[in-house]
Structure 1
Amino acid sequence: MEKVLAIGLEGIAVAKTSLSLVDGINGLLVYRGHWARDLAVHHTFEEVAYLMWFGKLPTSEELTVFQTSLANERALPEHVTQIIDATPLDRDMMSVLRTAVSALGCTSQSWPPTIQQVIGVTARIPTIIAHRQARIEGKAPVGPRRDLGHTANYLYMLKGDVPKAAHVRALDAYLILTQEHGMNASTFAGRVVASTQSDIYSALTASIGALKGPLHGGAPSEVTEMIEAIGTKENAESWIRNKLEKGDRLMGFGHRIYKTIDPRATALQKVASQLSADDPWFDLATHVEKVGMELLAEYKPNRKLHTNVEFFAAAVMRAVGLDDQLFTPTFALSRTVGWCAHIMEQAENNRIIRPESEYSGKMPD
């Protein structure tokens, strides 16, 4: 059989999935038969995680049991906190998260992965991030609370105070919209490891390692750098115009997959719009988005460049008080739901993923 060479596997389907549909041409994102934008507007992180793992939205009784299960698994094993504390403070957060998740698997490995493992690792990732952030700031870590939802507890552990409802709602929407996004690099990495019948912690470690790369998980912080450089509404047009005239890329606009409006950006803008009334930074970001769209239409009329999810993700995460170094780890916190769903789906009908390569070297004499 003749080999087909597809560098980067672009345009190649490697699995059938019931988890999500990503249609970049038409700007569609579907989670298990539901529009992702509607889920972000009308549901919570826990409800959508349940949908991804169990295939349906929970009843009120099922949701209560599920929320309790997550809340009960938030505390970290002592050996994991020791590893986090022993890691030099100059190491980046994603490296610490990768190592800590790997350490979670020291006492619980099995094939196929279990839903209890999935719940446990998803519940503990926010605690890992918050514990590490406290050490970076020279503070005592704030332990998790069982009476708070997943997103509210994450913000509570980071800040030490119960967060505002508007902040929880906005970040919850972001965490829903980034739970799953098809066969991206980190998801594929996790499925490859899972296909060897390795444990879920090894698969997730591979996924985190892939997301750590700046080509996959680093865009939101570049958006905040742009907005901070602009500084004021009055400066927005001149700054953006100068950038476009030099041929530079405008961060947070355009997407490799979506050739029309990113549906995640639309939903996140809708949910987060309530922040602009009392948050100057989010208000500035909204203005920059408006001016950016106008000038892109002027300078690049033949390009369909729209605001992507990273733009409003940066605006939301900065508005709720997250430092730039927390942006990619927070992305990992949400995408863990999708990674786990894919790992379980891979295990259900497993075949080892073993592509081929085309030799381009010399033949021996």
Structure 2
Amino acid sequence: MTLHQTTAGLDGVTAAMTALSHVDGEGGELIIAGSRVAQLAAETDFEGAAARLLSAAGKETAAGELRAELGEARVRAFARLEKILPATESLALGAGFRAAIAAIDREDGLDDEVALLGAMPVLAAALARSAEGLAPVAPDASLGQAADMLRMMRGTAASDAEAAALDAYLVTVSDHGMNASTFAARVVASTQADLFMAVTAGYCALSGPLHGGAPAPVLDMLEAIGKADNIAPWIDAALARGERLMGFGHRIYKVRDPRADVLKRSVGTLGSEGMDLGLAAEVEGYAREALARAKPGRRLDTNVEFYTAILLGALKIPREAFTPVFAVGRTAGWVAHALEQQRTGRLLRPASVYTGPMPA
């Protein structure tokens, strides 16, 4: 291995053999547990996707059984909020969510992965409401994960279309190859630490702006543009200043992010209440053209953040909760990767190239 390889973000270095997901950056394809992401989002809900990931990791799981288990896990997690929430006081929502995840522990009669998957939406909803000075809402174990999370956040039931849109989002972000947070989770799991520690590490890695991204600023950009007449001058001026256009470009994808189209279709099912979807589409179109002119050869296309922001905004999820809601979906991938890594029995311990002075 050359020094360049060790200092370039481990690009091209194989860190694991996995049956969980495959990312083809050149072809613009994402395969999760044997299905293309668009197919998976169309044919199953979050519970179905999570069950497939767990099964692929060697933990045979049926979607119907997982749905019932997650309902029970949410109820149990809610019962423990009184002990968990004090650790989040005076913290911003994202940091509070990190503290809350670190406080999750084993539940008698529940597998660790089920306890984690069930606790995440309860924590996200409770903290989102707490940020608005509202009391947590108890879960409804009879509902699916997406519908119940929206209900716990709002205090009222979500429509079928809203639940389906959030389901599609959670499925779409459930796993994405060896990204930074998944790698962090696998490193911790490789020490034979438990899943709770691995998932906490995954979320900590996700909180960094180079990985977790910034879907909320997409909405800031759309609001700053405001109307169609402002699209070209606003984008041209931003590019002239050397600024990044939020929601465009990806470290891996050299073409359009396949997740963007899945979420765009889901956004289209929600109507336009509170969101100018026509403006968003025009911004996307012009931004792609402007980027092609300004940065020829770089192939900067729409990424998952653009329609993530629009979809979560249309669902009236607070912007501060965007990253925790992403983590609700990605926890399925984190726990599956942690389980897969633990099955190898191998500690992840890469080498390094020393560049400091040698003793005389």
Would you say the 8 A contact 1:39–1:48 is kept in 2? yes
Question: Amino acid of the residue matched to residue 140 of structure 1?
Answer: A
Give the match's secondary structure for 1:240. helix
Q: Does 1:92 align with 2:92?
A: yes
Distance 1:3 1:213 in 2: 25
Q: Does 1:303 align with 2:304?
A: no
Deviation at 1:41, TM superposition (A): 2.4
**Deviations 1:260-308, CA, capped at 9 Å, x for gaps:** 1111111211222223444533343223212222333443443322111
Deviation at 1:98, TM superposition (A): 2.2
Deviation at 1:81, TM superposition (A): 3.1
The aligned counterpart of 1:65 is 65
Q: Kindly tell me: are residues 137 and 277 of structure 1, through their superposed partners in 2, closer, same or farther at Cα, counting changes over 3 Å?
A: closer
Would you say the 8 A contact 2:273–2:314 is kept in 1? no
List aligned pairs for 1:33-52, cutoff 5 A.
Answer: 33-52=34-53
The aligned counterpart of 1:12 is 13
Q: Does 1:171 align with 2:166?
A: yes
Deviation at 1:158, TM superposition (A): 0.5
Distance 1:252 1:162 in 2: 30
Q: Does 1:151 align with 2:151?
A: no
Deviation at 1:65, TM superposition (A): 2.3
Q: Kindly tell me: are residues 71 and 206 of structure 1, through their superposed partners in 2, closer, same or farther at Cα, counting changes over 3 Å?
A: same
Deviation at 1:249, TM superposition (A): 1.8
Would you say the 8 A contact 1:194–1:347 is kept in 2? yes
Distance 2:218 2:157 in 1: 27
Q: Does 1:205 align with 2:200?
A: yes
Q: Does 1:318 align with 2:306?
A: no
Distance 2:80 2:72 in 1: 18
Give the match's secondary structure for 2:22. strand
Once the two structures are overlaid, the 10-residue window that deviates more, 115-124 or 24-33, is 115-124
The aligned counterpart of 2:331 is 336
Would you say the 8 A contact 1:178–1:335 is kept in 2? yes
The aligned counterpart of 2:188 is 193
Would you say the 8 A contact 1:251–1:311 is kept in 2? yes
Question: Amino acid of the residue matched to residue 67 of structure 1?
Answer: R
Deviation at 1:357, TM superposition (A): 1.6
List aligned pairs for 1:224-263, cutoff 5 A.
Answer: 224-263=219-258
Would you say the 8 A contact 2:188–2:197 is kept in 1? yes
Distance 1:201 1:172 in 2: 24
Distance 2:165 2:80 in 1: 34
The aligned counterpart of 1:269 is 264
Deviation at 1:163, TM superposition (A): 1.1
Distance 2:213 2:5 in 1: 29
Once the two structures are overlaid, the 10-residue window that deviates more, 290-299 or 137-146, is 290-299
Q: Kindly tell me: are residues 303 and 360 of structure 1, through their superposed partners in 2, closer, same or farther at Cα, counting changes over 3 Å?
A: closer
Would you say the 8 A contact 2:98–2:200 is kept in 1? yes
Give the match's secondary structure for 1:21. strand
Distance 2:257 2:84 in 1: 39
Question: Amino acid of the residue matched to residue 22 of structure 1?
Answer: V
Would you say the 8 A contact 2:78–2:122 is kept in 1? no
Deviation at 1:343, TM superposition (A): 0.6
Deviation at 1:234, TM superposition (A): 2.6
Distance 1:215 1:104 in 2: 26
Would you say the 8 A contact 2:162–2:315 is kept in 1? yes
Would you say the 8 A contact 1:20–1:30 is kept in 2? yes
Would you say the 8 A contact 1:94–1:208 is kept in 2? no
Identity of aligned residues (%): 41
Q: Does 1:135 align with 2:119?
A: no
Q: Kindly tell me: are residues 301 and 77 of structure 1, through their superposed partners in 2, closer, same or farther at Cα, counting changes over 3 Å?
A: closer
Q: Kindly tell me: are residues 261 and 140 of structure 1, through their superposed partners in 2, closer, same or farther at Cα, counting changes over 3 Å?
A: same
List aligned pairs for 1:78-89, cutoff 5 A.
Answer: 80-89=81-90
Would you say the 8 A contact 1:252–1:308 is kept in 2? yes
The aligned counterpart of 1:180 is 175
Distance 2:207 2:272 in 1: 34
Q: Under a length normalisation based on structure 2, what TM-score does the superposition of the two structures give? A: 0.92
Distance 1:160 1:80 in 2: 17
Would you say the 8 A contact 1:282–1:319 is kept in 2? no
Q: Does 1:215 align with 2:216?
A: no
Question: Amino acid of the residue matched to residue 54 of structure 1?
Answer: S
Q: Any unmatched runs of 5+ in structure 1?
A: none
The CA RMSD over aligned residues, in Å, is: 2.3
Q: Any unmatched runs of 5+ in structure 2?
A: none
Would you say the 8 A contact 2:28–2:257 is kept in 1? yes
**Deviations 1:114-163, CA, capped at 9 Å, x for gaps:** 98110111011110111122222111111111122100111110111111
Q: Which of structure 1's runs of 4+ aligned residues deviate more than 4 A?
A: 1-5, 77-80, 276-279
Deviation at 1:319, TM superposition (A): 0.7
Distance 1:251 1:199 in 2: 36
Q: Under a length normalisation based on structure 1, what TM-score does the superposition of the two structures give? A: 0.90
What is the count of residue pairs matched by the alignment?
Answer: 355
